[in-house]
Structure 1
């Protein structure tokens, strides 16, 4: 009888364990992520670097979808320079049940409504490219930032000019007055990146014992056409006095090049340095129109945006090669690009 009872007990135990396992498996199947909806709002879809970054994000989403079998929807909308429009776009993402929202802020000082909307719905939000104030990012435990190391590109621009002066001083200091006459093309009034890039580029040159003379500056809002328009006027005013043009991004630098090409004054084109390492910018470096640029890693940042959104939705860890600091920030370093190494960076975009 004891043996029969023991057998019956064992059978019952096995049945219970199987049932529990079945329940657990059913629960896992029920909670399995089948689709991820990512809403993205960019400050301006016509910004060349942002457009390239979005292409990288979409490409990484397709690759991740193929690897995991999870459907990944990336919905990108253009705020067209309007913070009010961007606020409305984020509200629609929240109301339509998107899993993660990514925002390239129009106004980096005004993220309050966006953070409040995401927080009220418990939706993670990833800011990118335009860094908000740290105090704002800390307000919400599911708010993150993906971008680059802010001070690096200005320093790199300054270093490239210093290196060229050491190697070929006569090609830069055309009037041989031991002073560099320069024009600064600034991205946007009051914008953190424009201020920092401008300051660090000039300071790096001065700290290397080189005298500079600022002929003038122009705000061209990161835009190629505006860069050309502003340089047309500056060339009229200063002509061959301009020895260096320091541009806060490649697009404005390309606008400056356009101004010289249209005037058929390529023999007088000054040393021009940009920032971003866009394909058009890199091509200008290869062709000798632009001396150098600071490559902003759109490939790495696009991948990090996708991987972070994926991890936030699925609860999985980030890949080991993506490093997050302060549990908030993912940053990529810039790289100096001149004609000597430009092919390496062009190949990234091909």
Structure 2
């Protein structure tokens, strides 16, 4: 399904022709992607047409959407890949029709991105987010007033809620988070690794299964806020009014509105802010520069292809700065 949207602001055109930007997202039900696209559309100029497609986690559907965006004359195409390991069809079409493509949020390989001077990536550094999540947890665990080690055995029993199997960002976030905790001197005992596909409902189901198995959980590390919120849902569903006293320390990544609200209320101990506003603005500004033939010099492009926005660690101390920005 495609939705045609236009934003507010100054009128932009090429020889009095409305600029048309096509966007295909891997799954519109991903909260972070939805909020990023909301920002992208609200930032857009009045006379720019943005057509957004939901691939519904289907590579075949996304390939069809790529062809439709080309056929309908999109000046620039933005792709949030369903599968970063299978971009060949999209790349081949872009090369055939000489269309500039901005890949975003799900990073394809360096070799694929370098196949055209008109290919770009806008996103963040997954390694940085994993490190920051590990630092957030380590700082609290090693703090003098920490209550995370509830059984006082000097080891933290933890569960990792990981995104899609084989997904590069999920693997990197998990690996560097745990590595950072260990390097900081935290003793860890993994009680479970649950693949929940970045999905809140799946995460709830996985954690409920672990709770029912009576394993001890002192810490839950989630690759994104939706899964962290799903973990909270599991405890609320299992324990009702007593849930808050049962919920372990939970950390997410993304800084979605729901995630920030959970930090503010204390259900989550922290998250890592993935700058959706910065990414949306950078993607739009790049798309407009490509569509109008304007200079790219001031857009912060690295290595000819990359725009990366930094992460920020979020705790109760600074959550309001991001929740109400």
Matched, 1:347 2:324: yes
Whether contact under 8 Å (1:33, 1:314) holds in the other structure is: no
1:290-310 deviation per Cα after TM superposition (whole angstroms, max 9, x unaligned): 000000001011011111110
Q: 1:291 aligns to what? A: 269
1:174-226 deviation per Cα after TM superposition (whole angstroms, max 9, x unaligned): 11111111000000100001100000000000001111000111110000001
1:206 aligned residue (177, 182, 190): 182
Unpaired stretches in structure 2, ≥5 consecutive residues? 1-12
Deviation of the 1:95 alpha carbon? 1.4
Q: 1:78 aligns to what? A: 54
1:177 aligned residue (149, 153, 177): 153
Matched, 1:268 2:246: yes
Structure whose residues are more often helix by fraction: 1
Equivalence map 1:296-335=2 (5 Å): 296-318=274-296, 320=298, 322-335=299-312
- CA separation of 1:157 and 1:283: change in aligned 2, threshold 3 A: same
Q: Distance in 1 between matches of 2:69 and 2:96?
A: 13
- CA separation of 1:170 and 1:145: change in aligned 2, threshold 3 A: closer
Deviation of the 1:119 alpha carbon? 1.3
- CA separation of 1:119 and 1:55: change in aligned 2, threshold 3 A: same
Matched, 1:139 2:94: no
Q: Distance in 2 between matches of 1:302 and 1:122?
A: 24
1:317-337 deviation per Cα after TM superposition (whole angstroms, max 9, x unaligned): 2483x3100110000011000
TM-score by length of 1: 0.86
Q: Distance in 2 between matches of 1:191 and 1:126?
A: 19
Unpaired stretches in structure 1, ≥5 consecutive residues? 1-29, 66-70
Deviation of the 1:238 alpha carbon? 3.3
Q: 2:258 aligns to what? A: 280
Q: What SS class does the counterpart of residue 177 from structure 2 fall into?
A: helix
Deviation of the 1:268 alpha carbon? 1.5
Deviation of the 1:289 alpha carbon? 0.1
Equivalence map 1:102-181=2 (5 Å): 102-168=78-144, 170-181=146-157
1:60 aligned residue (36, 43, 52): 43
Q: What SS class does the counterpart of residue 213 from structure 1 fall into?
A: strand
- CA separation of 1:73 and 1:162: change in aligned 2, threshold 3 A: same
Deviation of the 1:33 alpha carbon? 5.1
1:127-162 deviation per Cα after TM superposition (whole angstroms, max 9, x unaligned): 000000000011122111000012111111110111
Q: 2:166 aligns to what? A: 190
Q: In angstroms, what is the RMSD of aligned CA positions? A: 1.4
Q: Distance in 2 between matches of 1:238 and 1:39?
A: 49
Deviation of the 1:166 alpha carbon? 2.4
TM-score by length of 2: 0.93
Aligned residues: 310
Q: Distance in 2 between matches of 1:33 and 1:343?
A: 43
Whether contact under 8 Å (2:19, 2:291) holds in the other structure is: yes
Q: 2:73 aligns to what? A: 97
Deviation of the 1:32 alpha carbon? 2.7
Q: What SS class does the counterpart of residue 106 from structure 1 fall into?
A: coil
> Max radius of gyration: which structure?
1
Q: 1:42 aligns to what? A: 25
